[in-house]
Amino acid sequence: MIQKQKRRAAIQRQIKRVDNQLSDWQRISDQLMRLRLAVFLVGVITAVIVLFQWGVWYWFGVSVVVIVAFSLTVKWHRHVETSMSRFRIWRQIKQTHLARMNLSWADLPTPADFDLPPAHPFALDLDLVGERSVLQLVDTAVSVEGSKRLAGWLLETEPDLEMTRSRQAAVADLAKMTLFRDKLSLHSALATEAMGEKWPGRRVLLWLDSQNDGQSLGTVLWLLAGLSLVNISLLLLYLAGYVPPLFLVSWALYGVIFALRSGDAAPIFEDAYFLEKSLRRLGVVFRFLETARLGESDRVRTVCAPFLDEVERPSAYLRRITKLLTLAGLRQNPFLWLLLNGLVPWDIFVSEQLHGCKQELQTRLPVWLDAWCELEALCSLATLAYLNPETIFPTMALAAERPFFTKAIGHPLLLDETRICNDFQIDELGAVDIVTGSNMAGKSSFLRTLGVNFCLAYAGGPVFAQQFETRLFRIYTSIRVADSVTDGFSYFYAEVRRLAGLLTALSKDDERPLFFLIDEIFRGTNNRERLVGSQAYIKALVGQPGVGLIATHDLELVKLADARPLVRNFHFRDGVENGRMTFDYILHPGPCPTTNALKIMELAGLPVESPSVL
């Protein structure tokens, strides 16, 4: 906690320094604005006086000086404004870090939208996506694809141990590279031209695929190039007096072919302008990654490998497209265009070069975007680790004698001062733990605490615990079951379907056992049938290739532990102090000795009779 306070204070000092620098830049900007106005007014007045006193030639010289002076002042002012823009984004990055540390949701970027399948094993129960979610807290990506990549890791239903360990190692290295991460965020924000706006890289890829029908003009280019050579040769021979004006015939043929096929080159010029604009924005990020100091981290270098290739790095392609567009820009001058294309098939040559460059980008650009998105997702998890130094990276194995052990585990969506951490362990597969406790005592929160930290661990990120050792599990939850009016499902039937899906997942032949979390089993039916159904369901879970916890108010279920060693009881306690309910949110062994429903009703002013009367 002390280390986190130090980092929070350091970020606050950085924000203060940036504010001071912005104040200095703003003062310079105001001075330059006044200077621009002064140069303009003085220049105009001086030019008018010179025109009437000394004539046109002196006026022309003074005008040139005034225009140059004004242009330099404008350029200087734009440089200052650009610097101010970068400082504002830098300050926003630091302020967002503070918001993540303080859980100031209103100051965090709006989370990306994801369509979650209702049958997902745990997405709807663990607050992983959406408003005030784990994704909103963790996600620092600027690209839509980067956010989706991170969400995909958090929602992974079949975690791979080697992939998870690889990501974890990269995240651990990136957590130490604070300046690199923040600069990546800065350049990514500059590329989107707006802080908080997601850049849709997939749109460019889809556009490239949809434009893949472009026809090559290579054959026409060679034909016209040959005719061009013949034209020039015949013209020179005619001027030398060796042949009649045969060049007129070949030139006419050249003109007809060029007129018929030059229209096919027009679309590629439009494509090139779109590509150049997109790559110019991306180039801000890509050039940073090409030149960034990556330290000694081989894992980060592996992710950034597409940007480190001297020959095929993005900036090389961007320069190539820019040069080709400069050549294509000659089309804007009608006289020069006519002269060039009359001598050689200029447009077709340039369009063929652009066509080849575009085809190469269809292969290269997905690789660059994939590396960028991967890096953004990794940096998001690394930032979470840096901003929360009390977190640790978990120890995971495909199999272990003790399936799960954690010490001081807490929920990442709770403030530090309100987060209560608990120790917990499961010693063998097939175990089922029943968690009892009163309303608001913390049962559901504890289930979510375990589930969320599992998701962070399998994503490759840190977990909010002092120790976290686990074998590889598949996660399945039944916590926030909802009915469906459109599908015609009642609450109870929706819960039955959910629990049936859990049994199906439990029976799946998989080397990764199931870790299940169930809150208030069969709450949608009457007490007698709920008890009978719950007992039968728990008996079906015991001894299966999985482990899990079931939170319940039903104290009758704790008796299952009497005859089944694989069933254990835990509970959360409550009390009443000065007429108010109190909770310690600490997990205790054994069944809950108290209930509080009647206490809550009484404190709320509802009529309550003594249980003895009932």
Residue 398 DSSP symbol: S
Can you give the pTM of this predicted structure?
0.83
Computed over every residue of the chain, the mean pLDDT equals: 84
CATH number 3.40.50.300 is the correct assignment for the domain at 395-603: yes
Per-residue tokens: 94: 């630091």
Cα separations in angstroms, 278 against 166, 189, 318, 542, 600: 31, 14, 10, 57, 60
Closest alpha carbon to 380 in 139, 56, 57: 139
Query: Longest C-alpha distance within the chain, in Å?
Result: 129
> Which own/partner pairs from 294-302 qualify as long-range (CB within 8 Å, at least 24 positions apart)?
294/177, 294/180, 295/173, 295/177, 297/170, 297/173, 297/174, 297/177, 299/166, 299/169, 299/170, 299/173, 300/170, 300/173, 300/174, 300/177, 300/375
How far is CA 364 from its chain centroid? 21
Strands 580-583 and 574-577: antiparallel
How far is CA 190 from its chain centroid? 16
pLDDT of 485 reads 39
Query: d(Cα 179, Cα 288) in Å, to the nearest integer?
Result: 12
Closest alpha carbon to 122 in 364, 376, 477: 477
How far is CA 585 from its chain centroid? 34
pLDDT in tens, 481-511: 764 434 545 777 788 888 999 999 999 988 9
Query: d(Cα 378, Cα 169) in Å, to the nearest integer?
Result: 10
pLDDT in tens, 288-298: 998 888 877 88
Per-residue tokens: 286: 């890509």
Residue 588 sits at φ, ψ, to 5 deg, of -115, 150
How is the chain split into domains, by residue range?
2-102, 204-218+256-379, 395-603
Does residue 133 carry a pLDDT above 90?
Answer: yes
Query: d(Cα 522, Cα 327) in Å, to the nearest integer?
Result: 72
pLDDT in tens, 19-35: 999 899 889 988 989 98
pLDDT in tens, 329-354: 666 667 776 777 777 777 777 777 77
